[in-house]
Amino acid sequence: MPELPEVEVSRLGISPHITDQKISKVIIRNPNLRWPVPDDVKSAEGQVVDSVSRRAKYLLLNTKVGSIILHLGMSGNLRVVDKSVPLLKHDHIDIEFGNGAVLRLNDARRFGACLWQAPDTQHELMGKLGPEPLTDDFTDIHLFEKSRNKQVAVKNFIMDNHVVVGVGNIYANESLFKAGIHPNRAAGKISKKRYEVLTQHIKETLANAIKQGGTTLKDFIQTDGKPGYFAQELLVYGRSGEACVKCDQKLKEIRLGQRSTVFCGHCQR
């Protein structure tokens, strides 16, 4: 599943090609995505994209009459192509621009979304989201206060979008390892000092992933349908049974919230 850094890199990748461009046509080939695609998205036809923004894992193409909201779901990807480029299987939505470019949404599993947000409103999906992790609104104090009396595992706690958005499975594994915190430790049992360390590692891990992904922005101008995501330099995720980079002991794997969770039993407490 694309996580926050991949979605942010998607935003950076498509923005130069569609910002300040007029939407000439919105083509909906398959409206049956995670939620039915509303006809309202066609309201953007004839409008100029003023900006492309991101909230959590949602991308917003902002115009004066409203915003097209895109979500990549489990397997979706966006490509900027010329409108003459042949369609691929699962190319469900095209947003055509006056300059001949097309923003094309491909989603094999159809867990993604294309929705509409009217001006000066907030879509209900974004109403209860926590702070963005790379902003000043996300602090150790916020995590500490939200965690009090919580028995839920800290890994699940920091992956809760009501607490903070965008800390997906990969980056939760990595941040907890760097902070030396056992992923199954109760969120309410962790001190403010340790949350200060964890908060900093969450910010640094996500920022570094976005920076690394910046080298692949050219991949968003392509015709082969491959997502323009980037290889990760991971310390624990996907490395179960391998040696810990800190102590050389074998990394362990458990399931938390039905997700793979890899950690070092020696370094994380």
The residues that are catalytic are: 2-3, 57, 259
The separation between CA 15 and the C-alpha centre of its own chain, rounded to angstroms, equals 16
Return the structure tokens found at 64. Answer: 């004066």
CA-CA-CA-CA dihedral for 3, 192, 162, 210, to nearest 10: -20
| 150 annotated ligand-binding residue | yes
In angstroms, the first-to-last Cα distance of the chain is: 28
- CA 79 to each of CA 6, 82, 181, 183, 189: distance values in angstroms, whole numbers, following the listed order: 13, 10, 38, 36, 44
Q: How far is CA 123 from CA 37, 47, 118, 161, 191, in A?
A: 14, 20, 8, 15, 35
| DSSP-based three-state secondary structure for 40 | helix
238-251 exposure pattern, b = at least 16 Cβ within 10 A, e = fewer: ebeeeebeeeeeeb
- CA distance linking residue 234 with residue 225, whole number of Å: 25
Name the phi and psi angles at 85, rounded to 5: -65, 130
Q: Confirm or deny that 162 is annotated as ligand binding.
A: no
Contacts of 193 (CB under 8 A, 6+ apart): none
142 belongs to an annotated ligand binding site? no
Mark the binding-site residues, compressed into ranges. Answer: 90, 109, 150
Mark the binding-site residues for DNA, compressed into ranges. Answer: 90, 109, 150
